[in-house]
Structure 1
Amino acid sequence: MPIKVPDSLPARAVLESENIFVMTEYRAMHQDIRPLNVLILNLMPTKIVTETQILRKLSNTPLQIQVELLRTSSYISQHTDSDHLESFYTTFDRIRDKKYDGMIITGAPVENLEFDQVDYWAELCEIMEWSKTHTHSTLHICWGAQAGLYYHFGIEKRSLPQKLFGVYEHTVLKPSSPLFRGFDDVFYAPNSRYTEVWKSDILKVADLELIAESHEAGVFAVKSQDSRQFFILGHPEYDPDTLAREYWRDVDKGLDIAVPAHYFPGDDPKKPPVVRWRSAGQLLYTNWLNYYVYQTTPYDLTSI
């Protein structure tokens, strides 16, 4: 079954060109199926790129998914056309009375700021508090994961001596976890961040479970014991060229940026990168949707 998106959303054309089954609103209305309702809080400045990456991962599943895009109202992105935001995004005041099967909170390029220095921190806290009673399961990504761990469990983010930038090998710590069903013994995931959370801090919180890590990149996946909240410190949804574009962007700005680790063949940025994380990234999103949303969410959303 496909993902359901607005007919004119730019991501639709991209996904259809990749032979991904995307259903129009008209066709979805004529099916007698309750789709999973998934809310995506997109905090990234390049919203169209991020929404396309995440929708690609949500699309490859036998479930029908109704996606709603959410933006902050306390800070308006300067990198996305206002017509796109008005056409395809909603704000929290419009959906605060609704309930959702699942929610995704993306990363944001603000990790060098203290949480309370982020323009929309107060609004994000309100949304994260609301998610505890209005979403069945919430998936937090990268800075969104750090923000969630701090807000819900008091886990501090820690500055790194240099940017963690590249594709790293990870190990599943709990092979029995449905989130990692079908994973290889080791898997790869992109990372791009200046901060981290410490394993020792996670292990001190009885309500949290560390389920995957990397000997180079540190903590990767954490979940709450009740499986209502997931925190992923990397970017399994990244496109093949995302790190390359970030690297060349910073080079063009004259910034001191290292070549992404384990990404370009022979660390030569003139060579096209080899993708080693696509299948694991797809499995992670599919498993979250299947085992922690679809299999356990109530049919009547009002009972969440």
Structure 2
Amino acid sequence: MPIRVPKELPAIKVLEKEKIFVMDEDRAMHQDIRPLEILILNLMPKKDETEVQLLRLLSNTPLQINVEFLHMSTHEAKNTSSDHLKRFYHQFNELKEKFYDGLIITGAPIEHLPFEKVDYWEELQNIFKWSRTHVFSTFHICWGAQAGLYYHYKIDKHLLNQKLTGIYNHDVLKPTWSILKGFDDVFFAPHSRYTGVDRKDINETEELEILAESKEAGLFLVGNKNNRAFYAMGHLEYDRETLQREFERDQSKGIQPNLPQHYFPDDNLDKIPQLRWHMAASLLFSNWLNYAVYQNTPYDLSDLLKSDK
């Protein structure tokens, strides 16, 4: 089944070239189906790239999905046009009375800042609080995962000695969890971050469990035992070239970044990186939609008010 998005969203053209079935709003109105309502809080600078990456993954399911986008009203986007935001994004005040089956909170390149110094931290805290009664299951990515752990459990991030960037092996620790159903014992995933979370802090939090981690990169996936919140420290949604673009961006800024590990063949920048993580990415997001959301979400989403997650 297709994903349903605004009719003129530029990401549609990219996805259609990849033979991904995208249904616009007009056609979807004629189907008598209760689709899943998914909200994406896009905190990434280049929002159009992240839109394509996430919509691609959400399409790998037989479920029909309505997708809406949210941006922070208390932050001025510098890499996305105001016209794009006005046409395809909502502000929190516009939808805070609505209910959603799922919420995805992306990463953001602001790890060097304490959470309280982020200009939209107060607004984001309101969204976290709202999500407890208006969203059935939330999937947090990278900085979004660290921010969620900090807000909900007071688990703080810590600065790494250097940027963690590359493609790393990860071990599945809890294969019986439905979100990891069908996974091999080991899978690849990209990381791109300056901060991390201590596994000790997760283990000391009764509601949380470590589901997958890497000997090199550390934690990858943490789940709330009620299946209503997941925290991914890496970026399975990344494209083949994303780490390369980030490396070149940092070079242009004079940062002198480390070469992403296990990414360029033979560490040769002239060679095309191998795509080794999209199978895991597709499976993880499909499992989240199917088992954590679709199989358990109430038909009447207003029933979420009856249970605080």
Query: When the two structures are superposed, what TM-score results if normalisation uses the length of structure 1?
Result: 0.99
| Distance (whole Å) between structure 2 residues aligned to residue 118 and residue 254 of structure 1 | 24
Q: Is it true that 1:27 corresponds to 2:58 in the alignment?
A: no
| Distance (whole Å) between structure 1 residues aligned to residue 92 and residue 19 of structure 2 | 33
| Distance (whole Å) between structure 2 residues aligned to residue 254 and residue 102 of structure 1 | 39
The structural deviation recorded for 1:51 is: 1.1
| Distance (whole Å) between structure 2 residues aligned to residue 13 and residue 259 of structure 1 | 32
Q: Deviations over 1:123-143 (max 9, x none)?
A: 000100100000000000000
Alignment of 1:1-304 (within 5 A): 1-304=1-304
Letter in 2 for 1:90: H
| Distance (whole Å) between structure 1 residues aligned to residue 225 and residue 248 of structure 2 | 41
Aligned-CA RMSD value = 0.7
| Distance (whole Å) between structure 1 residues aligned to residue 112 and residue 253 of structure 2 | 19
| Distance (whole Å) between structure 2 residues aligned to residue 143 and residue 62 of structure 1 | 30
| Distance (whole Å) between structure 2 residues aligned to residue 136 and residue 230 of structure 1 | 12
User: Percentage identity across aligned positions?
Assistant: 59
Q: Deviations over 1:212-252 (max 9, x none)?
A: 11001101111111111110000000000000111112222
Q: Deviations over 1:105-150 (max 9, x none)?
A: 0000001100000000000001001000000000000000000000
| Distance (whole Å) between structure 2 residues aligned to residue 77 and residue 58 of structure 1 | 25
Q: Stretches of 4+ moved more than 4 A in 1?
A: none
The DSSP-based 3-state class of the residue aligned with 1:275 is coil
The structural deviation recorded for 1:76 is: 2.0
The structural deviation recorded for 1:24 is: 1.4
The structural deviation recorded for 1:254 is: 2.4
Give the count of matched residue pairs: 304
| Distance (whole Å) between structure 1 residues aligned to residue 92 and residue 295 of structure 2 | 27
| Distance (whole Å) between structure 2 residues aligned to residue 40 and residue 90 of structure 1 | 10
The DSSP-based 3-state class of the residue aligned with 1:240 is coil
Letter in 2 for 1:282: S
The structural deviation recorded for 1:72 is: 0.5
Letter in 2 for 1:2: P
| Distance (whole Å) between structure 1 residues aligned to residue 194 and residue 251 of structure 2 | 17
The DSSP-based 3-state class of the residue aligned with 2:275 is coil
| Distance (whole Å) between structure 2 residues aligned to residue 205 and residue 11 of structure 1 | 39
Which residue in 1 is equivalent to 2:307? none
The DSSP-based 3-state class of the residue aligned with 2:245 is helix
| Distance (whole Å) between structure 1 residues aligned to residue 252 and residue 98 of structure 2 | 44
| Distance (whole Å) between structure 1 residues aligned to residue 255 and residue 159 of structure 2 | 19
Q: Deviations over 1:27-69 (max 9, x none)?
A: 1101110110000000111111111110110011100000010
The DSSP-based 3-state class of the residue aligned with 1:76 is coil
